[in-house]
Amino acid sequence: MKEDKNIVDFLNPQKGNSPDASYFEQLAKNVILQESMAKKRITPFYKKPVVWLVATAASIVFILLLNVKSTEGPVTLLAMNDISTEEIRTYIDANIDEFDTYLLSEFVSEESVEESKTDIIVESPSSDTDPIKELEEVDLDDILDYLELEEIDIEDLEDELYI
Amino acid sequence: MIKHLDDKAIIKLFNQGGSASNDAFTQIVTHYGPILYNQIRALAKNHEWTNDILQNVFVKVFQNLSTFKGDAALYTWMYRIARNESLNFLEKEKRRTGVDIDAPLLEILAGHDVLDATTPELISNILQEAIATLPEKQAAVFQLKYFEDLKYKEISQKLNTSEGALKANFHHAKQKIEKFILTRLNH
Residues B96 and B9 in one domain: yes
pTM to 2 decimal places:
0.59
Domain boundary pick from B73, B102, B131: B102
Domain boundaries, position B115: 107-187
Q: Is residue A123 part of a domain?
A: no
If we measure between CA atoms, which residue out of B106, B127, B16, B146 comes closest to residue A12? B106
Count of alpha carbons within 13 angstroms of residue A24, beta-carbon side: 19
CATH number, domain at B121? 1.10.10.10
> pLDDT above 70 covers what percent of chain B?
91
Residues B17 and B55 in one domain: yes
CA dist list (Å): A45 to A54, A60, A137, B110: 12, 21, 94, 66
**pLDDT for residue B61:** 95
Cα gap A123→B17, rounded to integer Å: 101
Cα gap B5→B27, rounded to integer Å: 8
Residues B91 and B12 in one domain: yes
| Range in A71-80, B32-41, B50-59 with the lowest mean pLDDT | A71-80
Q: Tell me which chain A residue has its CA closest to the CA of residue B172.
A: A6
> pLDDT above 90 covers what percent of chain B?
49
Q: Are B36 and B54 in contact (CB under 8 A)?
A: yes
Domain boundaries, position A136: 130-163
The parts of chain A modelled with pLDDT lower than 50 are 1-3
Cα gap A143→A146, rounded to integer Å: 5
Domain boundary pick from B68, B102, B136: B102
**pLDDT for residue B1:** 47
Dihedral sign, Cα of residue A37, residue B17, residue B60, residue B48: positive
Residues B80 and B133 in one domain: no
- Closest Cβ opposite residue A18 in set B34, B114, B115: B34
If we measure between CA atoms, which residue out of B52, B68, B51, B94 comes closest to residue B14? B68
Q: Is residue A26 part of a domain?
A: no
Q: What is the ipTM of this complex?
A: 0.81
Cα gap B63→B28, rounded to integer Å: 13
Residues B93 and B112 in one domain: no
**pLDDT for residue A83:** 78
Q: Are B133 and A40 in contact (CB under 8 A)?
A: no
Q: How many domains does chain A have?
A: 1
Residues B148 and B172 in one domain: yes
B177: pLDDT strictly greater than 60: yes
Cα gap B164→B167, rounded to integer Å: 5
Interface of B with A in 119-158 (CB under 8 A): 123, 127, 146-147
Domain boundary pick from B36, B70, B102: B102
Cα gap B186→B180, rounded to integer Å: 10
* DSSP states of B63-125: HHGGG---SS-HHHHHHHHHHHHHHHHHHHHTT---PPP-S-SEEEPTT-HHHHTS-HHHHHH
Average pLDDT value over all residues in chain B: 87
Q: How many domains does chain B have?
A: 2
Residues B21 and B98 in one domain: yes
- Using the beta-carbon criterion (under 8 Å), do A18 and B59 form an inter-chain contact? no
B177 contacts in chain A (CB < 8 Å): 7-8
From A64's Cα to the closest Cα of chain B, the distance in A is: 44
A32 contacts in chain B (CB < 8 Å): 22, 25-26, 62
Partner B contacted by A16 (CB < 8 A)? yes
Residues B89 and B25 in one domain: yes
Q: Is residue A33 part of a domain?
A: no
Average pLDDT, integer, range B69-96: 86
